[in-house]
Amino acid sequence: MSLYVEAHIAADLDELWARTQEPSQHQRWDLRFTEIDYLPQVAGEPQHFRYGTRVLPFLTIAGTGISAGEKRRPDGTRTSALRFASPHPLSLLQEGSGYWRYVPAPDGGVRFLTGYDYRPRWGRFGACADRVLFRPLMGWATAWSFDRLRLWLERGITPERQLLHALGEVAFRAGCVLAAVLAAPVVALAVLALAFLVPPLPVTPAARRCLRTPPPRTRAPRILTTLQEQPS
């Protein structure tokens, strides 16, 4: 998988599973989606779903996918895998697949991790835009969202409140830089560097708190291979 994110979350495994598998809960913390809905499921078949991302007040990029999960495994872990695609002509992301893995940690809590990859559209231009801009942005958004989920479970801070914290911090840091430019241009670069380097407050999500490099010998779960063999 080209993108990997891992967070250690000090929470109950069942509660983490519910916050990530229930669409109404998932769409609250995941910055990548504004709506997720399960479609009617046929017994014995993977779960089909529809998702959407609002990029402008009047424009939502939508797509569909299928998912399957293993809630009970002999080693105590859980796994969820999915395939997804968007037919929308403005969606750079054409199709892809990925997984979530829930691994109980020896010291308590859960290692919650994801790996996923996708194929961009728009030919060479799309491949270049993906490599330079979209893929780094997706990696950051995934990590930021994982830390948002962690704060929700560990501290009880709702995702909506966390977003206000984040916007407030961005406004404060931007204000400090602007004030330095106007009052003391000589130190403006130093203030700008501090605005980027000083860690966010503990109540504000931060992508930097998540692991972004997969450990050696990381493998996609077998259920993902099975899911990829299913018809869309």
The larger pLDDT score, comparing residue 57 to residue 10, is at 10
The mean pLDDT of the chain is 91
Please give the average per-residue pLDDT across 153-178, as a whole number: 95
Per residue in 22-45, pLDDT (tens digit) is: 999 999 999 999 999 999 887 778
For residues 204 and 214, give the distance between their C-alpha atoms in angstroms, rounded to a whole number.
24
Q: What is the pLDDT of residue 66?
A: 93
For residues 8 and 23, give the distance between their C-alpha atoms in angstroms, rounded to a whole number.
22
- Residue 215 tokens read as 């450990």
Task: Please count the other Cβ atoms lying within 10 Å of the Cβ belonging to residue 142.
Answer: 22
> 146, 213 in Cβ contact below 8 A?
no
For residues 81 and 17, give the distance between their C-alpha atoms in angstroms, rounded to a whole number.
13
Domain ranges within the chain, ordered by starting residue: 3-156+211-228, 158-202
Percent of the chain with pLDDT over 90: 71
Q: What is the pLDDT of residue 229?
A: 57
Per residue in 189-205, pLDDT (tens digit) is: 898 898 889 999 999 99
- Smallest Cα–Cα separation from 53: which of 83, 30, 20, 19? 30
Confidence of residue 1 (pLDDT cuts 50, 70, 90): low
Specify whether domain 3-156+211-228 bears CATH 3.30.530.20. Answer: yes
